[in-house]
Amino acid sequence: MQVLVLGAGVVGVTSAWYLAKAGHEVTVIDRQVDVALETSYGNAGQISPGYSAPWAGPGIPLKAIKWLMQDLAPFMINGKEVDPQTLSWMTKMVSNCTQGAYHKNKARMMRLAEYSRDCFIDLRKELDIHYDERQKGTLQVFRTDKQVEASKKDISVLEECGVNFQELDQQGCIEYEPALANVKDKIVGGLRLPGDETGDCFKFTNALADECKEMGVQFVMKTDILSINKEGDEITSVSTSRGKLTADAYLVALGSYSTPMMSEIGLKIPVYPIKGYSLTLPIIDENKAPTSTVMDETYKVAVTRFDDRIRVGGTAEIASYNKDLNEKRRANVEFVVGDLFPGGGDIEKAEFWTGLRPMTPDGTPILGETKYSNLFLNTGHGTLGWTMSLGSGKYVADVISGQKTDIDPEGLSMARYH
């Protein structure tokens, strides 16, 4: 079967990989000059099934109001960019802030993310693929006893889902992240997820794209997708800046831009761009740098070790599709890396970046079939799209191929919104 994959971020490329392995003739289209140049470029570098959780949770609306008034807040709203789509998405997100919804959504995300992490393990066995990868777990650090207490809720879900974890005191955190000894008075404890992994998503996507090319996948870059054309319940072609392209099946992996593209053909998907920021610093002193990912619960910022760089990323901004680099938001990520790992990296040489997380209000991506017989979705991966990318790609390739999927499809498709 000929399959057109729309979008060459990490989600499009992982899908192309599994589709090619299933024997399909695959073409990937993207507007950028190369793969992973939008949201998949500068993320925080975690493959973190253990940390998979929706942002919509009990108490979040109140916390969000407090954050709006806080310095170095993890969350902000850019009032100028709030439009009806923003309000509708926020309303849906708030309706997911109940204990019951949080529990259900977290379990769905973790099921997919755990499956995806296993796909990463299998992929490394199959391919000699490198992306500054490390398998040293991740550590969430708490600055207050209240945060330690609040983490008990997450621990009960980890237990239910059978995810390994370690509750650590201050000394325990330092054993895993020795550089924290320099700032030990700032932390009271932590939660470690030993099964989590780290690496550079941009390098990963590029390396996998090279493997895809070896398998015969065609990449059509510098090509704008203008519209998806339909007749009855079938997609007939895709109009692009290079003319019309046709295939037997079409897979949408356009990240945050999936929403406007789908609405043109009458598919309402609640995927909204939640802006985040990162800095990437060259390491100047290994002893003062992290060894894996350290997540600062207070500022919701993750600091990740690459081979010779530190990536620090996080914060959430509601600003629709605006991609301006807001210097005020830089202060947040810059503060955390300097506060937890002073002297580890060269802030003067840091690369500042912003990206739009394609977020659903319930945190789970939208995968698989649509009302069009030959149109499929792989979008809405939000905060942990790299984590879920291989699992989602494999799942969607199985659906397109008419194969039995390896994981329970409950709650993963568009059907959950009907």
Footprint on this chain of ligand FAD (rule: CB under 6 A): 7-12, 30-32, 37-40, 43-46, 224-225, 253-255, 257, 276-278, 302, 313-314, 355, 357-358, 379, 381-387
Q: Nearest Cα to 45, choosing from 170, 196, 200, 151?
A: 200
CA-to-CA distance for 108 and 21, rounded, in angstroms? Answer: 26
Tokens of 418: 């009907």
The nearest distance, CB 149 to ligand FAD, in angstroms, is: 25
3-state secondary structure of 238: strand
State which residue, 38 or 362, has the beta carbon closest to ligand FAD.
Answer: 38
- Cα–Cα dist 239/196, whole Å: 40
- Write the CB contacts of 329 (distance below 8 Å, at least 6 apart in sequence): 76, 277, 315, 317, 354
User: Which residue is at the shortest CB distance from ligand FAD?
Assistant: 385
The pair phi, psi for residue 293, each rounded to 5°, is: -100, 135
Closer by beta carbon to ligand FAD, 179 or else 359: 359
Tell me the closest approach of the beta carbon of residue 404 to ligand FAD, in angstroms: 25
> What span, in angstroms and rounded, lies between the C-alpha atoms of 7 and 217?
13
Please identify, using beta-carbon distances, which residue of 74 and 344 lies nearer to ligand FAD.
74
Q: Among residues 64 and 209, whose Cβ is nearest to ligand FAD?
A: 209
Specify the residue, 86 or 170, whose C-beta has the smaller distance to ligand FAD.
86
Provide the minimum distance between the beta carbon of 289 and ligand FAD in the complex, in angstroms, as a whole number.
17
Select 10 or 60, whichever has its Cβ closest to ligand FAD.
Answer: 10
Name the residue nearer to ligand FAD (CB basis): 130 or 146: 130
Amino acid in position 255: G
Closest residue by Cα to residue 271 from 320, 228, 237? 320
Nearer to ligand FAD, 151 or 332 (CB): 332
The rounded distance, in Å, linking the Cα atoms of 65 and 76 is: 9
* 115 vs 277 by CB, closer to ligand FAD: 277
Tokens at 107, concatenated: 């379990």
- Confirm if 189 and 297 have CB atoms less than 8 A apart: no
| C-alpha span between 114 and 47 (Å, rounded) | 10
d(CA 22, CA 18) in angstroms, rounded, equals 6
Residue ranges in 70-200 assigned as alpha helix (H): 84-95, 99-126, 145-160, 170-176
Q: From the CB of 251, what's the least distance to ligand FAD, in Å?
A: 11
d(CA 293, CA 339): 15
- Minimum CB–partner distance for residue 164 and ligand FAD (Å): 19
**Cβ atoms of residues 313 and 302 within 8 Å:** yes
Q: Least distance in Å: CB of 185 to ligand FAD?
A: 27
Structure tokens at 331: 């202060």
**66 burial via Cβ count (<10 Å: 0-12, 13-18, 19+):** exposed
- Nearest distance, CB of residue 152 and ligand FAD, angstroms: 24
CB of 2 to ligand FAD, least distance (A): 19
User: What is the nearest approach in angstroms of ligand FAD to the Cβ of residue 98?
Assistant: 24
Closer to ligand FAD at the Cβ: 64 or 301? 301
**Between 10-21 and 201-214, two packed helices, what is the crossing angle to 10 degrees?**
30
- Quote the least distance from Cβ 305 to ligand FAD, whole Å: 13
What 3-state DSSP class applies to 250?
strand
The values of phi and psi at residue 2, to 5°, are: -90, 130
